[in-house]
Amino acid sequence: MSWDATVRRMCLALPETYEEQAWVGERWRIRGRTFAHLLEIRDGSPPAFAKAAGTDGPAHVLIFRSRGIELDALSKRDGFFAPGWGPEIIGMKLDGSVDRVELGELITESYCNRAPKKLVALLDLPE
């Protein structure tokens, strides 16, 4: 399954999520708030993303939100990068080493950081 299809399936499984084309790539939103943005870097373009990810590509990257201790831990792991566009924004290079269960958890946590509490309450989250 392609990264587009994988991320799309994970995002659209969350309550009231919708997909739209971003200026580059696709993004998933909840009530106007972006919680995931997937794009491809190729030949150093788009340059802001290529610079942040430290690659000219080809590479798929997912930009999402995280907080606190987890954000700090992710920013220090291989395959992750802090683009510097906001205090909660983190990027992840998607390749064959990515654990798809962890990917789903990170997308869900990003959604929870952006969604209203009553929508988050609809999710079956671990205690």
CB atoms within 10 A of CB 55: 15
Nearest to 83 by CA among 43, 17, 39: 39
Strands (E), the chain: 17-21, 26-30, 33-41, 59-65, 80-81, 89-94
pTM for the complete prediction? 0.93
Which pLDDT tens digit goes with each residue over 37-73? 999 999 999 999 999 999 998 999 999 999 989 888 8
What is the pLDDT at residue 8? 96
Domain residue ranges of the chain, discontinuous segments joined by +: 3-118
Amino acid in the structure at residue 124: D
CATH of 3-118, one of 3.30.1330.40, 3.90.78.10, 1.10.760.10, 3.90.1150.30: 3.90.1150.30
